[in-house]
Chain A
């Protein structure tokens, strides 16, 4: 009986091992990196908003302090999205007739809230607290990036748990002097690790990585 397979089949069989392994690897890679894809985690995605609010203009251009609008950032879990009244403090005078701002004026006139789309959307089982971070030397730009350069706000980090843990495991990599927390253009010094270690000690920062720190 002649052989069923020619000798070249051996090569095919060997190649199939590689192909199957490569395919399996690709699937594994896809699964493992699924949540790292911006398409899934919205990293870098700017959202549609009722009014095209520009942080670049307000923060970068006008130099408005973060806390003028985000009033509760130092005392509460949420930084706070400003009430329409805050917008109208200026915009009843400046750009008072701009058609772009009509939704803001309508909201104020009719007493209906503006509905913003959340850009930084943590899952509901993760409890983040702004006050705990900004009172201990975590700067706004550490998570929100150079918001003064963003015309439309987008999510800078991935917001994946590995990203949270990166800092929670080694806060000295990111912590800055308390006086620089709201400095949006802050650049970490060359000796960040040295400074960070000193500040971690000074501010009494603990590396909290147990589940209940964020999940409850």
Chain B
């Protein structure tokens, strides 16, 4: 296959990914409230951000219950069943309106060439609608399962999933020497994490899934998510030290199975994910510092034969931190992460999908949010992605999603005002301002689009019940 064809395939794939599917997944689940009998504010500052108790609930396997159980025991009194009498089912609805500073080109090719634009201002009813099974399965075993209907894509899909088992180990009988050992089975590296500074549950907690977003993201920053299956073990010692080691492999959703080269990028073999962190709590404060990362071997797919032979190797090293100040009246959270990705693109370069064999991609995200009485609040976020220019990975001449310089660099701010009339309902106004998009400020795609044209106003009604 010649390079222009590959380039157009890559460009088209990028466009569809960028335009259809990169909204941050982020949900809170009322069935946990039903299971525990506790209000949302117990586990969330404002959903989906977790409080220290919310982290404990998650790391304990989602199993804390305060409702009648359907039980089974053996003659030796061994428990064989402990099931909530009411299934932990809940639902989520997101309705949104997106407006970009300049509409994107009309997708009909002839009109695009003439500079015709799509209609700007897009109401999605729903943007997403989800059903959850979120709660206890058995003693020590719990789940977070999400099925999501995506309004723009018009399909139901398997979304974030985390099934985990946790066991307390009393060390030397001392009550202040507590150790939890756990296992997690999930489909998105960092979805199992209990801090909101990692990608799966990071800021922004919701965003438009129809506005243009930058072409480049590190593998751990949502690229692998929901096309992976992983099993890991973790420990949580004295409510302070967290350590985890997991391994992920390909688990592609949809398409042909067993996997062949018609599928998009697919993990190859077992890919290690690690996490280490330390949390300290004092008075109304909680501070967390951590590191995480993944070594992902990926077969690029999309070109016949790409599932054999060479693989691309992505190594993501990341640090993150989170500070929370939580009182009844005031809640302040500051969080951030920095991800450094080394890309060894042996397969992509061989198949003409990348220009270079070695690239890097670095992403920084910082955010601060404040709420008054969990009712009204605002947030400011900053993001910056810098990487090696690669004219095939980030091709020029593709309207909106292309990069005329081949550089993936994007930078900008996110501003939010949020109002919660109830703990489980969030009304959000978000503004995303791009200072740089896919490598440039003006004519970044080689077709005349400016970074600022992608500035986005996003209105969201988010209901959990």
Instruction: Tell me whether A and B are bound partners.
Output: no
